[in-house]
Amino acid sequence: MKIRLLKIIDRLAGVLIASCLPSAPVRPFQSPRRILIIRPGGIGDAVLLAPSINAINTSYPDSRITILAERRNCGVFALMPRVSRVLCYDRPGELIRAALGLYDAVIDTEQWHRLSAVIARLVRAPMKIGFDTNERRRMFAHRIGYDLSAYEPDNFALLLKPLGVDCQRKAETASLSLPPQAMSKARHLLHPLGSGSFVVIFPGASIPEKRWGGGRFTLVAKRLAEAGYKIVVVGGKEERGDGDMIAGEAGLNLAGMTTLAETAAVIARSSLVISGDSGVLHIAAGLDIPTVSLFGPSSETKWAPRGERHVALNHHLSCSPCTKFGTMPPCPIKSRCIRDISPDEVMAATLLLLSLPAEKK
């Protein structure tokens, strides 16, 4: 409900304000020491920013990076030690603190909505960078083209060009780090499993149309258990019921029991992650863990992890993908694009990756 309300406010107030404010002027650029990066939205987009944040720090090691995020995705930045401070877009006091700050550059990584661009325009910074997808373009001195078909980290990398940063992202390089406390908690939680390999399953999704279904995940989990692999389910409290069914008697259901950083630490100890298009999927890839992912409503070209350690399953129906800028139209065929993916397909892809030689894992 809150997300829907924010979108309505953005469509009404955001368009009006962005149209009324004067265009951002181009000002002289100097080496940035204080950088504000705006990243409202979900966990996945936040995770995919990690290569760009690392690239900024490599080019400007003395810089201090402040993130303006949301409560629902701010936990991701605990996995990025090069971030100096995290403030929340949807906490008024922290939003005001961010807006009153003094920066050398502000980068708005939001792809479509206008309110984040308005904030970028109002922040005191000589360099303002953002995507030019609609009225928001007037809020930036440096307007960057956005490619709807491109891999999203590549779009984020384009935002760094005005800073003179070349973000040479490597698809199979870990871009996230784990806090020691989260690693310790993960060891404690996983102790009942004993030794041996385990596979992480995340059955959730940000929207119902991306859900494959607890019953299908359960079939895969049972077959993996028969093959000698233990199962660990992660997710929020809403995945607790499905998690009990998927984990079964021999597995472990951690849904609703871990913070985002602790979930990442559990994933880091796993052999593989099975998930739909989700933030958990991107965390696994950012930790260099092999993944099997299920796509349909959203584009695997844009969102699926790259490299031979990752398999994205997609039946490519004529109407798929249908998601654009986080918005999905009503589906007249009940998400057949993802529901038609069979447990056999998921199992085959999982066993293929699990059988890779150690140097490729």
**Where do the structural domains in the chain lie, given as residue ranges?**
2-163, 180-354
Question: What was the pLDDT predicted at 168?
Answer: 66
88: Cβ contacts below 8 Å, ≥ 6 apart? 68, 69, 70, 71, 74, 94, 95
- The confidence score (pLDDT) of residue 281 equals 97
Residue 75: its pLDDT value, please?
95
What is the DSSP secondary-structure string of 49-69? Answer: THHHHHHHHHH-TT-EEEEEE
Bridging pattern class, strands 34-38 and 64-69? parallel
Please report the pLDDT score of residue 295 as a whole number.
96
pLDDT score for 43: 95
Could you give the CA distance from residue 150 to residue 103 in angstroms, rounded to a whole number? 30
Residue 238 φ then ψ, to 5°: -70, -15
State if pTM tops 0.85: yes
DSSP-derived 3-state class of residue 35? strand
Task: Indicate the CATH number for domain 180-354.
Answer: 3.40.50.2000
CATH code given to domain 2-163: 3.40.50.2000
**Whose CA is closest to 298, among 321, 329, 314?**
321
Q: Which residue stretches of the chain have pLDDT < 50? A: 1, 171-172
C-alpha torsion angle, residues 299, 71, 116, 300 (rounded to 10) = -10
123-181 pLDDT per residue, tens: 999 999 999 999 999 999 999 999 999 999 999 999 999 999 987 655 445 789 999 99
